[in-house]
Amino acid sequence: MNELQKAISQIGVVPVIKLNHPQRDAVPLAKALCAGGVPVAEVTFRAAGAADAIRLMTEAMPDMIVGAGTVLTTAQIDEALAAGAQFIVTPGLDPELVRYCQEKHVTIFPGCTTPTDYHTAYKLGLEVLKFFPAEQSGGLSKIKAMSAPFPMFKVMPTGGVSLKNLGEYLSSPVIAACGGSYMVTADLIDNQKWDEITDLCKKSVEIVKEARNHG
C-alpha cells in the first residue's frame, strides 16, 4: 500500500458523502468528521457541486484526506483533482480510468466484485480494491473466498456497511477499511445534525480499535 492507502487504512472507515448543499454544509461536515476522529471523506459525484464540496473541505481542513466517489469519466477525474481530491473511487472497474489515474500518479479504488474484476485489477497493478456493493454482492464471506486466489489485494467494502457489521468486516486481515454512509445520511446532513455525525464517527473509531486489537 502507498502512504495514502496506509493512512486511510489506519483510520479504518471512509464516510461516503452526497452533498446537496455544498456551500452550506461542506465545511461544518468536514469539521464534524474530524472532530469524531474520521479525517477522511469520499465525496460522490452523484450530486451536483461535488467538486465545490471537495474544494471547500480541503481548504477548511487541509490535513483531511478528501477524495471523489462515483467517478465515471476522465473529465470528472480532472474536475475532482482540480478541486483538490487526493483519491478517486469508481463504482466499477474501468481500465481506461485506472490507467488515467496511474498516469497522473493518483490513487484510484475501483469497484470490484468478481474474479474477472480482480484478475483485471491484478494486471493493472492495483493493490487496494473497492468491493461494491458489498452486502448485496456476498459480503465478507465472498471477500474471503475471493482472497484465496487473489491474496495480493486489500479490500474496501462499501454498500450496506453499518455500525452493526463494521467490526465483523474490520476483524478480517483482508479488509483495508470500510466505506459507509451511515454516519453521513441525507437526514443528518440536510438537517445539520453535526453533533450526531461526530458521535457516530466516535463510535466507529471505537469499533475500528476493537476490531484491530482482536483481529
Domain at 156, CATH number? 3.20.20.70
Mean per-residue pLDDT, 133-161: 98
What does the pLDDT look like over 74-89, one tens digit per residue?
A: 999 999 999 999 999 9
Indicate whether 215 pLDDT > 80.
no
Residue range(s) defining the domain that contains residue 109? 3-214
Would residue 130 show up in a list of annotated catalytic residues for this protein? yes
Contact 169, 2 (CB under 8 A): no
Mean per-residue pLDDT, 13-26: 97
CA distance 140 to 169: 6
The pTM for the full model equals 0.97
Amino acid (1-letter code) at residue 135: E
| Closest listed residue to residue 51, CA positions, set 85, 27, 25, 90 | 85
Contact 138, 112 (CB under 8 A): no
Residue 214 has a pLDDT of 79
Would residue 203 show up in a list of annotated catalytic residues for this protein? no
Mean per-residue pLDDT, 57-69: 98
Sheet holding 178-180, edge to edge: 107-110, 87-90, 65-69, 40-44, 13-17, 178-180
Of the candidates 79, 96, 130, 144, the residue annotated as catalytic is 130
Task: Please count the structural domains in the chain.
Answer: 1
Of the candidates 3, 31, 42, 79, the residue annotated as catalytic is 42
What does the pLDDT look like over 156-201, one tens digit per residue?
A: 999 999 999 999 999 999 999 999 999 999 999 999 999 999 999 9
Indicate whether 9 pLDDT > 70.
yes
Placement of cell 486481515 in the chain: 173
